[in-house]
Each structure stands twice: as structure tokens, then as C-alpha cells.
Amino acid sequence: MSPREPSSDRAVRSRLLRSLTASALAVGLAAATAPPASATPQAARAGAGTQRAQLLRLARNLVDAGAPGVIVRVDDGAGRPVEIAEQAAWTRRDHPLQAGDEFRMGSNTKPMIATLVLQLAAEGRLALGDPVEKWLPGQVPGGEAITLRMLLNHTSGLFDYTEDPAIRPSILGKDRRRWTQAELLALGVKHDPLFAPGTRWSYSNTGYAAIGAVLEKVTGARLADLVRDRIARPLRLHHTYYPVGSAWRGPYARGYEPDADHMPAEVPAGFRDFAGPRHHGHVDVSGNDLAWGGAAGAVVSTTQDWSRFYTALMSGKLLPAAQLAQLRTTVPVDAEHPDGPGYGLGIQTGTGPCGTFWGHDGGVPGYLTTTLTDRAGGRTATVLIATEFWAEFEADPKIAEAAHALQNAVTCTMFGKPVPAAQAG
């Protein structure tokens, strides 16, 4: 299929492993009521119990709207973090959901992969301006003009491999092959590029497949080992890892999608039938292998671990100042709105009434995650929703409305500001 052909299936595939935070969440925040400027730290502390109760209610509303499970963790940097786990009654036979459970991070993998590249840049082992041809000769057509920086900030113009029909059986859990970075890269570059390198922005998981291949070439190590040795072990992230199979290492949140008979009508026929155990109109997809996510989306973590990662990253513990500045150097997501949401190196940013946030999100079958932090890493937040195709296909307005309400409230709580009145009522 040509990348320029209009197709509803192509539009859907383009959102898999795609990042939505800076565009979608910033829009939601723009509609929120700004908190009073006169709020004092004492008043904020006094309202902490109220805020937790509001977040708990909004999480419960999301479950009542149809989400099988929800995990929330918010740390405003001023006290004890708020942790919430809510689940539908029918899911308890599979696993009693806990706030510390492991889950698939999807495209939240990208900030971690970008951090590995920047660490190697700081060590002089590669440079952001290196053409991809230098490290992967002959593997990327036009690779002489595509730099590592372009791969990281999605300005390479490479077609997104998740849009190729060959990946669909893996997405549905029916093909359990162990995709390599080189195979994922080859899947994307067999299509014509979308535009000349560096001239536009377009989210491309193929760019991160290329980055994964470069990391393995430069270091001679597997991505799983790089994540473990350079990030997880130094930060004592005991439940964060790049999986080498479908097995989990600790207690984990089950992820679900509706079965074929209960899938919303908006979902095309080719995306309606997942592999996995079935009950209560759903398929448990948490045992399906995410090798197809590769460097673009395969990492597993927890809310606590990810908070620690973001704090270390944004405070400079993982990167020298020069590389951290590169991470935060953004390009506009929408060329028509250059002052709007921006994308840096594996991380994006947006501004709402409650503050300017940095972060990412990720969507893979069964798991939709949003992770946020402030510029210094002193405040962090994560929301996990244990189902994802409603977002891919805009197929469930009821879940979408409840999810936006929770995400907006979580963001303002992270900044230590009152939950907007529109969400608190």
C-alpha cells in the first residue's frame, strides 16, 4: 500500500505506538478552569485528601464507563504520592489489581531509548549529527541525509512500520515471531518516505527501530542489556526491563480488548479478533508478545519505577547538562502552530492552565499509558488504562470522556493545584 493512499486501516495502524500526550492532553487542559492564583501551600496540603477522593472517584468513573482497570500515581513533590488502583469486578478472577503492578509501557519506551543514545553521545561513541548510513550502511535508503537526531525527534520522513499489513498478526497476538530491530526497520523502509529528511514532523516508529539497531551496532550489546545495565540497575528500577519474551517478571496488570462479538462497530474487520483467553466479552491480551514494539515500544515498568526514571532523567542524574539540553530541544508537532506542543528527543511537551508538562504516552493492545513530569523532574504522574483499542479507533466516547477527565485532574494534581471545577463536579 502506498503511504499516500487514503485508508481507514492505515490511519488506525499509524496510531499504534503513537504518542498522543502533547496534542490530545494539552487540548483537554486548555478547556480546564485555571486554579485561583491565591492558593497557598497550606491550602494545597489541606486539600490533599479532597484531591485524592476526586481522583479515586474519576478512576472509578472510568471503570464504570467500561475500562477493565485503571492505575494512577501522582507525586506533586511535596508529600506522599497518591496511588490508586481500580478494576472492574469481572477482572478480579484474573488478578487483583495493585498500584505497583507491572505493565507494558508502549511508546513511553522512547524516552528511555533516547536516553541511551544521549549517554553514548556524551561518551563520544556516536554523535546526534551522524548520518544513519554511517552506522547502518545500505539499510536505510537515503540514509546519508537522515541523522540520528532526526530519527529521535521524528523528522526523518520514514514511513511508520506499524502501518504495514505484515505487522498486523503480531499486533493481534497471532504471530509470535521475535522481530529484530533490523526486521522492523526493513518493514518500514520498503515504503517510500513521506517527505525529505528534516523538512517536517511525522511520528515514525521506524525511526526508533533504526535507533535500536544503531545502539546494538555501536555497543555490541542487546537492547535488553543496555536498559538493564545503564538505566534499570543504576536507578534500582526492579520492575523495569526490556523483555526478551512474553513472560512477566513480577505481578502484572492484565490488559484486555473486547472480543470479536463485542468489539465496537467502528473497528475494521481486520482488527477485531485478538488471540488470548476470553471471558466476559473480552480477550486477555497480556500474554501476547510485544516483540513487534521493539525499541519503539517494548519496555515493561511500573508507576513507581517510571517516576524514579523521570526524576533521574530530568534532574540530570542520567545525562550531562549538554545532553539534557538536547533532549529538551523540541520541534513543533504541528507546523501551523509553532508555539504549540513540541517533540524533543524521545519526549514531548505541552502547556495547560496548570503548568507546562513533559512526558510521553504509549498505546499497545491492552495498555494505554500517559506519563508526565515537570521540567526538573520533581513532580511526576502516570495513568494506566487496561484497554487501548477504544483510543486507536475513537470507538468509545464514554471511555474517552472519562479518561480525559481523569488525565486532566491528574495533571493539575501533579502541579499541586486544585482539580478544575469542571472535573470536580
Residues 21-76 pLDDT 10s = 433 444 334 333 333 344 455 555 556 678 899 999 999 999 999 999 999 999 99
CB 266 within 8 A of CB 208: no
CA distances from 157 to 141, 195, 221, 302 (A): 11, 5, 28, 32
Say which residue the cell 462497530 belongs to: 265
- Whether 354 is covered by a domain: the verdict is yes
| Half-sphere exposure of residue 408: CA atoms within 13 angstroms, side-chain side | 26
- Whether 3 is covered by a domain: the verdict is no
pLDDT over 90 at 425, yes or no: no
pLDDT over 90 at 398, yes or no: yes
Tell me which residue of 289, 413, 287 sits closest to 354, measured CA to CA. Answer: 413
CB 46 within 8 A of CB 365: no
Q: Is 107 a catalytic residue?
A: yes
Q: Look at residue 358 in the predicted model and tell me its pLDDT.
A: 98
Mean pLDDT calculated for residue range 149-159: 98
- Whether 346 is covered by a domain: the verdict is yes
Give residues with Cβ within 8 angstroms of 135, minimum separation 6. 126, 148, 213, 214, 217, 218
Angstrom distance (rounded) from CA 201 to CA 199: 7
- Whether 190 is covered by a domain: the verdict is yes
Residues 276-313 have pLDDT tens digits of 999 999 999 999 999 999 999 999 999 999 999 999 99
Cell numbers linked to 339: 508555539
Q: Look at residue 12 in the predicted model and tell me its pLDDT.
A: 38
- Whether 206 is covered by a domain: the verdict is yes
Q: Look at residue 79 in the predicted model and tell me its pLDDT.
A: 82
Q: Are strands 355-364 and 367-373 parallel, antiparallel or unpaired?
A: antiparallel
Q: Look at residue 133 in the predicted model and tell me its pLDDT.
A: 98
- What value does the mean pLDDT of the chain take? 90
Angstrom distance (rounded) from CA 136 to CA 186: 12
Mean pLDDT calculated for residue range 18-23: 45
Q: Look at residue 93 in the predicted model and tell me its pLDDT.
A: 96
Count how many domains the chain has.
1
Domain extent at residue 194:
8-424
Mean pLDDT calculated for residue range 86-91: 98
CB 237 within 8 A of CB 305: yes
Tell me which residue of 365, 370, 360, 362 sits closest to 389, measured CA to CA. Answer: 365
Catalytic option among 14, 19, 107, 156: 107
Residues 257-270 have pLDDT tens digits of 999 999 999 999 99
Tell me which residue of 113, 109, 105, 191 sits closest to 156, measured CA to CA. Answer: 191
Report the CATH number that the domain containing residue 323 is assigned in CATH. Answer: 3.40.710.10
Angstrom distance (rounded) from CA 167 to CA 412: 38
- Whether 2 is covered by a domain: the verdict is no
Tell me which residue of 44, 28, 46 sits closest to 36, measured CA to CA. Answer: 44
Task: Look at the chain and count its residues.
Answer: 425
Angstrom distance (rounded) from CA 60 to CA 50: 15
CA distances from 129 to 198, 213, 326 (A): 12, 17, 12
Q: Are strands 103-104 and 282-284 parallel, antiparallel or unpaired?
A: unpaired
Angstrom distance (rounded) from CA 356 to CA 371: 14
Give residues with Cβ within 8 angstroms of 47, minimum separation 6. 418
CB 314 within 8 A of CB 349: no
Q: Look at residue 164 in the predicted model and tell me its pLDDT.
A: 97
Q: Look at residue 50 in the predicted model and tell me its pLDDT.
A: 83
pLDDT category at 20 given cuts 50, 70, 90 is: very low
Mean pLDDT calculated for residue range 352-356: 89
Q: Look at residue 25 in the predicted model and tell me its pLDDT.
A: 42
Angstrom distance (rounded) from CA 400 to CA 390: 8
Q: 31-40, 264-273, 321-330, 351-360 — which is least confidently predicted?
A: 31-40
- Whether 262 is covered by a domain: the verdict is yes
DSSP label of 161: G
Residues 184-219 have pLDDT tens digits of 999 999 999 999 999 999 999 999 999 999 999 999
pLDDT category at 385 given cuts 50, 70, 90 is: very high
Cell numbers linked to 327: 533532549
Q: Are strands 300-301 and 348-352 parallel, antiparallel or unpaired?
A: unpaired
- Whether 116 is covered by a domain: the verdict is yes
